[in-house]
């Protein structure tokens, strides 16, 4: 059974590729950067894959040597040189002017370096006094978790010399749909694909799981999500409901009240909304997301059918038959009213058309009442739409 995308698959998705491009743009503009990852992304190896992809964009990019030496010494070791022979540069106020480092990028995963607080404290000041033009300045790519560097310290950095990028809202609907296309081999009809996308959100491991394990029925989806929740190790559960509606959506960074859940990989921004991980959903939330998927795909078909049936019924109906109908200002006749004309015997369109009209009327009523479409009606509708079931 699939365990989700490999870490190295993420940089190839549209959202992460855009994220890497934004980081590189700051580096090309002469800034150093700080990337704030949730703990879960570091633990999964995705953060490292993103850093490797960033490094590949630099003409001279190296991961900082891990040792107990102080930072300037580690920088010299990073480039394969003997710190003793370069000891004239082995201090904070001299290392930034070291010719061998100019124009280079050094990547510093904060979870591998215990002095990351000192590095972040001292580096902006060194940039200000170095006197080097932006294109010659050495650049640091510092990746941290909030366990490594407090949020308060991050938010007070000088944005003119250090760009800050949060792994928040990086994945959106296009990424989920892209992953779904890869793992499903296009074996899904549009309704099934929408359901998996909506239920998974940014959790691409869930996308893979549902492709393999969901039986494609409305009744079976809740069971599939419960099984997925049981498969997560360690099991995840939703946090206090009071945090589920934050005061702000967090455009660039997670709202403070969601910080802990974000770090644990339970919440993220997906598109223009905050989305909780599938592992945290109860039955009502699963039902809501399934309705959202059905509504997204099927409501345009309801309107297409309404237009066709209105044209057909107007051609057959008498003026008297139409006179009692409630009419919108734009003179459109709703599909429910069209079905009433046929059901009441005021207009005869034949059995085949009547059954089709009734099915789309029932479909529209369920969607209007925020109900996912039950399997029997869905089978009828997909037959009319020539979707496989």
Is the Cβ–Cβ distance between 27 and 58 less than 8 Å? Answer: yes
Map tokens 């991961």 to a residue.
Answer: 63
pLDDT bucket at 85, cuts 50 / 70 / 90: confident
Predicted confidence (pLDDT) at residue 6 exceeds the cutoff of 50: yes
Burial class (CB in 10 A: 0-12, 13-18, 19+), 375: middle
Residue bearing the bigger pLDDT, 124 or 45: 45
| Residue 117 confidence (pLDDT) above 80 | yes
Give the strand pairing for 273-276 and 267-270.
antiparallel
Q: What is the model's pLDDT at position 327?
A: 67
High-pLDDT (> 70) share of the chain, %: 94
pLDDT band at 246 (very low <50, low <70, confident <90, very high): low
Sign of the torsion formed by the C-alpha atoms of 255, 261, 262 and 266:
negative
Domains of the chain and any CATH numbers: 7-166 (3.40.50), 173-281 (no CATH), 299-384 (no CATH)
Confidence of residue 133 (pLDDT cuts 50, 70, 90): confident
Q: Are 238 and 280 in contact (CB under 8 A)?
A: yes
At residue 241, the pLDDT reads 46
pTM: 0.91
Residue 179 has pLDDT above 50, yes or no: yes
Instruction: Specify which residues 229 forms β-bridges with.
Output: none
pLDDT at 236 (0 to 100) = 57
CB count, 10 Å around CB of 300? Answer: 10
pLDDT at 180: 96
Which pLDDT tens digit goes with each residue over 324-372?
777 667 778 899 999 999 999 999 999 999 999 999 999 999 999 999 9
Tell me the three state secondary structure of residue 105. Answer: strand
What are the CA-CA distances from residue 245 to residues 248, 275, 292, 369 (Å)?
8, 10, 19, 23
R_g of the chain computed on alpha carbons: 28
Question: What is the structure's pLDDT at 103?
Answer: 87
Tell me the pLDDT of the chain averaged across its residues.
Answer: 91
Whether omega before 234 lies within 30 degrees of 0, making that bond cis, reads yes
pLDDT at 233: 62
Q: In the predicted model, is pLDDT for residue 242 greater than 50?
A: no
150 falls in which pLDDT band (50, 70, 90)? very high
249-264 confidence digits (pLDDT tens): 678 999 999 999 999 9
Question: CA-CA distances (angstroms) from residue 138 to 30, 54, 67, 135, 153?
Answer: 8, 15, 20, 8, 22
pLDDT reading at 226 higher than 70: yes
Cα–Cα distance between 372 and 191 in angstroms, integer?
11
Q: Give 270-319 pLDDT, tens digit per residue.
A: 998 999 999 999 999 999 999 999 999 999 999 999 999 999 999 998 88
pLDDT of residue 100 exceeding 90, the answer is no
CB 160 within 8 A of CB 127: no
266 against 158, higher pLDDT: 266
């Amino acid at each position: 059974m699939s365990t989700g995308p490999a870490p190295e698959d993420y940089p190839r998705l549209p959202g992460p590729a855009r994220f890497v491009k934004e980081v590189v743009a700051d580096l090309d503009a002469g800034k150093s950067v700080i990337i704030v990852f949730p703990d879960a992304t570091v633990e999964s190896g995705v953060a490292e894959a993103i850093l490797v992809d960033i490094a590949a964009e630099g003409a001279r990019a190296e991961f900082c040597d891990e040792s107990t030496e102080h930072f300037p010494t580690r920088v010299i070791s990073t480039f394969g040189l003997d710190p003793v022979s370069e000891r004239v540069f082995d201090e904070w106020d001299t290392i930034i002017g070291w010719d061998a480092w100019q124009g280079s990028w050094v990547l510093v995963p904060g979870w591998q370096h215990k002095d990351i607080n000192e590095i972040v404290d001292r580096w902006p000041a060194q940039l200000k006094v170095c006197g080097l033009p932006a294109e010659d300045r050495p650049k640091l790519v510092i990746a941290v978790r909030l366990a490594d560097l407090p949020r308060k310290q991050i938010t007070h950095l000088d944005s003119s010399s250090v760009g800050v990028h949060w792994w928040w809202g990086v994945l959106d609907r296009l990424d989920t749909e892209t992953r779904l296309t890869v793992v499903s081999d296009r074996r899904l009809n549009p309704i099934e694909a929408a359901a998996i996308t909506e239920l998974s959100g940014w959790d691409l491991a869930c996308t893979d799981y549902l492709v393999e394990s969901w039986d494609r029925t409305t009744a079976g989806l809740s069971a599939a999500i419960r099984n997925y929740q049981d498969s997560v190790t360690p099991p995840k559960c939703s946090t206090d409901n009071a945090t589920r509606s934050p005061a702000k959506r967090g455009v660039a960074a997670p709202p403070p009240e969601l910080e802990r859940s974000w770090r644990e990989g339970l919440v993220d921004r997906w598109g223009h909304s905050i989305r909780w991980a599938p592992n945290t959903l109860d039955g009502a939330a699963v039902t809501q997301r399934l309705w959202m998927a059905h509504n997204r795909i099927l409501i345009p078909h309801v309107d297409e059918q309404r237009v066709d049936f209105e044209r057909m019924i107007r051609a057959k109906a008498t003026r008297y038959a139409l006179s009692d109908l409630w009419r919108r200002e734009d003179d459109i006749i709703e599909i429910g009213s069209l079905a009433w004309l046929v059901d009441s015997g005021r207009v005869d369109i034949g059995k085949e058309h009547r059954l089709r009209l009734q099915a789309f009327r029932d479909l529209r009523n369920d969607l209007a009442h925020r109900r996912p479409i039950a399997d029997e009606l869905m089978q009828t509708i997909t037959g009319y739409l020539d979707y496989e079931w």
